Every structure is written in C-alpha cells, then in structure tokens.
Structure 1
Amino acid sequence: MTSNTKGRSGAPRSQRQLRVGEEIRHAMSEVLRRASFNDPHLEGVIVTISEVRVSPDLKNATAFIVPLGGGDMTEVARAFNKANGFFRKELGQMLRLRSCPRISFEPDVSFDEAAKINSILHRETVQQDLGPRDEPESVESPNGHNETGD
C-alpha cells in the first residue's frame, strides 16, 4: 500500500480524509467482488485497490489500482475511469456520506518504484560504496568494564 499520509500539497491529510478513504476502499472492494463489467479490458481482470486518497473537501477521490496477475495497468485504469459513474452510484448507496466523491482511478506504481529502488540498492557498485559493515568499537567505561559504543 502507498500509505503516504501527506497530500500533494505536502500538508498532512486529516483523520477524516484517511478514514473516508479507507471506507471508500472497503466499499469499492465489495462492489468489485459482486459486479461484472462489459468491457474487454476488464474481462477476467482481478484488481486490488491499494489506497484511496480523498481531497480535503471530500468531493474528489483517487483510487490506486493494481491488476493482479499482470495486465496493462493503464488500460485497466482507463476502463475503470469510464465506469466511474457506476462506482459513484454504487458507493453512494453504500456509504454514509452527505455526498459521494467523484472517483478517478490511477495505476499504483509504488510497488514498481519500490522494486526499482531495491534493485539499485543491491547493485555491486552501490554495495562497494556502502563498504563493509564494521562492528561497533569496544569502549572502556570509567569503572574498567568494556562497553560497546553505539
């Protein structure tokens, strides 16, 4: 999950935004479990909703999706965006909100980014720069005992 607690402006998201986003994510999972779509890009595709970020005014929400088993994430997101009216209608019936936010879908690339960073960190040249891990030096305390320096 991309659990970034800051919005695009850099300001921390409120408890209400986080709570509403999580409530929408759970409701969307329920909708996905029981819905069927007549879109060839969604045929047989199983999708995980990793996070839902809600705007401060609670009028807009972005759902980050990951198709399980591969697939073209951009096409799947485009197909979900075409069906956003359906989702908004379903969510409006399920959620206890004054108004249901407009939903947009984006591919969740955070897992790809994490894998990319991990592969960079494990490169031989990076490992050389990190050098060997030294054991902490032993420091003698005033009372004559050896203590490990941290």
Structure 2
Amino acid sequence: MKRNGKLSAFLHALVHMAHMPGRAMTSEEIGAWLNTNPVVVRRSVAGLREAGILSSSRGHGGGWTLARPAETITLADIASALEERLIPFNTEPDNPNCLVERAVNKALDGVKDELEQLLRQRLADVTLADLAVQCGAGVSAHLEKQRGH
C-alpha cells in the first residue's frame, strides 16, 4: 500500500467494488489490489464498516461488499471513516522553546485547518459512483479480461 495515505488506497479498492456490486471481495483480493497484506486490509476497513460503507459476511463466498449504493457514499464519508488527515504537512515542533518556530507553526496550523475544511467540503460533492464512472470503460474492460471473456 505505497500511496500517500489510506484514502487513495481504499478509494482504489472501493471503485473496484462499485464496479462489481453485490460481489463479496475477500481481504486477500483487496490486499492484492492494494499491494498489502490482508491483515492490514482487515484493520483498515473497521472504520468503513462502522460508518456503514462496507459490510462483511463470513463463510464460503463471504467477504466485503458495499453496504449501500455507491451513489450515496461521498469521498468525504470515506475520508472521515478512515480518520484520514487530508493535509499531510506536520507542524509538530522540533524545538518547542523557539518562539519563531511556535509562531510559524501556529500560522501553518490555521492554514492547514482551513485547507482541510475546504477539501472535505469539496469531497462531500463527489460520490464513489462519480469516481467509478470516471474510471468506467477501463475498469470494465479489465474485469471482463479477468473473467476470461
């Protein structure tokens, strides 16, 4: 899972799932898409399940499915469920006694919070279905190839 964060990784997996509604995906399959261990997948999807984005079923044919239609899931819902900070720069002080560093970090924290809010507002306007449509034909062709058609 070599991406900037969980959001981009799980959007990748959720778009695959949106293209195969109702088909349960195992943690192993999702892990293969994300190039990570299935254990990492299971730990990461807990928030998605709690937010009602994913549901799981056990046993033969079990796995993860979208819990509701992709049209009702916003990218902001997903980011929130993953508890992902969208603006990654860090303002933890290297030298907490330095007045200049504290002033700079305080200014950056205000900007970071404002950017985070604006980005979440924008993500609330985009659904998983919107993203799946953008990927559309390429994903469908890939899935057909995998099915052997």
TM-score w.r.t. the length of structure 1 is 0.25
> Relative contact order, CA 8 A, sep 6+: which one is greater?
2
More helix by share: 2
Larger Rg: 1
